[in-house]
Structure 1
Amino acid sequence: MPTFWFVIVLFILAVVLNRHRSKKADTTWSSVARRSGLQYSKPGVFGRRVITGEVGGFATKVDSISRGSHKNRRTFTRWRLWFPQSLGMGLQLTREGFLSGFAKAFGSQDLQVGDANFDQDVMVKARSGKVHEFLTPSRRFHIHRFLTGGGRRKITDSGIELERRGLERDPARLRSYLALMADLAGHLVGPADDGGYLSKAIGAQESGDLTGALKSLQSAPKPDAASRVLEGEILYVGQRYEEAEQAFDQAAQQRPDDLEAEAWRDRAHARAAGQEPPPIPKELVEPVADVPPPPLPDVVADAAAAPALCEALFGAGVSSLETNRIFEDTYQDEKVSWRGIISSVDRSSFDLVFGNEPFTKVVIDVHDVAKDGLLSRMVHAVIKMPEDEQEALESREGEEVAFTGTLTRCDPFMRNLFIADGGLVNSPG
C-alpha cells in the first residue's frame, strides 16, 4: 500500500512540475512576441505554441512541434520565414552531411559553384540554371554562415527554416534566430552584388592571407553585421584584440540579437584586458543529438595525433567559438611533427599572424574531417618557413612531406592552423 501512495505522489509532483514549466514557457514566448511586435497563441490541450507576424518585412512563424510516438516522441522548436514571392528555381540548400553524401552515391544531384569552402559544406539542388547567377560570392558567404550553424537548417524557393530539438525556453535565442533569418532573407531577395569585397576577402582568407582578407573587408563602404563578425574573427586571430572588439561591437549594434557577435566581443574584450575569456554562453554550445564530442588528444606532437586534433577542433557540431576556445585552452604553443601534402608555396613580406619579416608561406593539407568519404572538408596547416627555402619547396608541391613547428593561431572559419618556426624533416637545401 505505501508503494501505491508513493507512485501517486510522484505522479502528482510530475503533473505540477510540468504545468509550472509550461506556464514559464508561455511567459517567455509571450514576452518575446510582445517585444518583437508579434502575436502569440497559447497551446490547447494537444496544441502547439505559435508566434506569428513580420520581422524585417518578412512573414515569420515560430512553433513547437512533436514527432514520433510513445517513448520515441520528441519535441522540436521550429523557426520559419517566407519570402514575398518564390525564387522560382526549385532551390534547396542544406548543409552537407552523412545523408547528403549517401544521396550523392545513389545519383542525387548536388550542384557545384566553384567555391571550395561553399561546395564542401553546402548541398545545392535546383531545377534552374539561374542558380549559379543567383549564388553570388556575397550570398554564398551569408548562406554558408547560416547553414553551418547548429540545428537543422534549410533554404528553399519559398523561404528559410531552422529547427532545434527541444522546446526553446531561452528568450534571447528565440529573438536571435528570427533576426538572423530576416537578415539572411534581405541578402537573398535584395541586391546581388556587394562590390566584390567579400569574394576577395574569402579567397585571401582561404589561402591563409589574413592581411589581404582584412584589407578587402575594411575597404567595403557599408559592411553588414556578418562581414563585421568575419573582420573581428580575423583581427582576433591576429591578436589585434581591441580592434576585434570594436568590429564585434559594431556587428552587435547592427544586429542587437546576434548572440555570436556578443560572445566574440566578450572574448576579445577579455583578451585585450589581459584576462581569461569568459565561458561560451550555453545558448551557443550546440549539442549534437546522440553524437558524443570527439576526445581531445593529450599528445599532439606526433603525426598520429593530427587527425584527432583536427576532429576535435573542426568536427561536426563544433562552433567557431568552441573551436577557438579549445585551441587556446589546449593546443596553442604546442610543438607538432606532422605529415601532409604541400598545397601551395608563396613568399610573404608582411603577415597579420607571422609579422613583417620576409618568409616562405607553405600551405599543407593535413586531414579531411569529412565523414562520408565523398566530400572534402580539409584542414590546412599554414606554416612559416625560412625565406631561402622557397624555391626548393615550390619544386615539391603536391608531395607528401613531414614537417615540424609550433601551433600558434587557429582560423575556425577556414579550418586553417597557423604554425610558426616551421621546417621540413630532411628539408632540401
Structure 2
Amino acid sequence: MSQSIASSQAMPAASALSLRLARAGNLLLVLLPLAMWLANRSAPLMLGLAALCFLGAALADQGAPAFLRRLRDLALTPIGLALGAFLLWSLVSILWSHRPIASLVMWGELAIPLACGLLIAASGWFRPRPAWLRALALAIILACVLVIIELVSGMSQRATLGIGKLMSFVFNRPAITALVLAMPTIHGLWNLPAGRRSDRILAVILALAVATCALRSESASARLGVAVCAIGWLLAVYWPRLTLAAVGCAFVLTFTMAPVLGVAAQNWLPSLILNRFSAMTGQARIDIWRSFGEVVWVRPVAGAGFGASASMERHPVAAAVAPEHRTLLGVGHPHDMPLQAWAETGMIGAGILVLAGLLLLRRLRHLPAREMAPRLALFAGAFAISVVGHGAWQGWWIAVLGAAILWFGPGAAAPQGEDHG
C-alpha cells in the first residue's frame, strides 16, 4: 500500500520536472539566433544545453529503456543509417590524415551537434507549439534588427564595450542562422490551426527582416540562400514533383562536378558575371576550387583524411599539386561542401552523402505540397549556401541545420496527454 502511494506521488513529480526541463530546452532553442548574434559560433552550445534539458525530461518521465528504444528507432531509419555510415567512414579516414588530433576535433564538431539533434528528437518532449513559434519569430527579428543596427553604426557598440572582432563579416553567420531558422518558423506561423491574422502578419515581418538582414550583411551566401529559398518555395507549391526532381538532379550534378568545379567555373563562367563579385567571392574562390580539385585527383577514392582541409598545404598530397596552386591550399577549406567531402573523404564519403541527400528528398516526396515546399526550399537553400560558403563541417552550421529540422517538427511524437509548453 505504501509503495503504491509513493509511486503515485513520484509520477506527478517526475512529470512536473520533465515539463520544467522541456520548457528550459525550448527557451534555449528560441534564444539560439540571439546567441549567434552575440557570439557567432554559439549554436552548438545552445543546442547541446537544450539536448541535456530534453534528455533529462525524457529520462524523468519515460525512463531510460523507453528513451533508448526511441533513439534506436530514429538512428535505424535509412537517413540515420546513411549519416551514421558517413560519420564512421569519416572517423576511419582520420587514420591517414596528417594531423589526426585536429581532425578528430573537427569530427567532433560534426558529430556532436548531430547527436544533440537526435537526442532532442528522440526525447519526444520537443514540439513546435504556437507560443514557442511566436517567441522564435520575435527572437529572429530582434537578432536581425541588432545585426542591422551594428552594421549601420559601424559596430560602434562593440567598440565601446571593447568586445568582439571589429569586422563586419562576423555577422555573416548570424544572418545565415536567421534565414535557416526562419524557414520552419514562417511555415509554422502561416499554417497554425487557429489561422490568426496576427500570426501571418508576424510571418511576413519575419521574412522581411531576414531578407533585409541578408541584403545588408556582407554574406553573398546569405543573399544566395534567400533567393534560392524564396524561389524554391514558390515553385514547390505549384509544381512540387517537378521542383523536387530538379533539386535532386542539381544536387547530384553538383556533387559529381565538384572535383572539376574550379576548371568548369574558370572556363564557362562569363567574365561579365565574374567581375560583379568581390575579389574573395570571384576569381580567388575559383582558384581555391582548382587547388582543392587537384587534391581530389591525387587521392580520389579515400581522400586526404577528414578535417585535412584545415592545413592541406602541409599534407603530403600537397607535393603532388601544381606549384602555382599549392598556396591556396592554406586557406582552411575549399569554400564548397561537396568539394571538401571529395578532398577529405574521397569518392566513398561523397557517395554516402549523396545517398543521404537522396534519401531525404525521397522522404519529402511523400509529403503534401504545402508541407514539402518549405522543407524542399530549405534543403535547396542550405545546399546552395554550402556550395559557395563556409567550411562543410563547422559546428555552428550543423547545429543551426539541426535546430531548423527540429522546428519543422520532430519525427517522434510527444508523450500523450502532455502539453510541453
- Bigger RCO (CA 8 Å, 6+ sep): 2
TM-score, normalization: structure 1? 0.24
TM-score, normalization: structure 2? 0.24
More strand by proportion, 1 or 2? 1
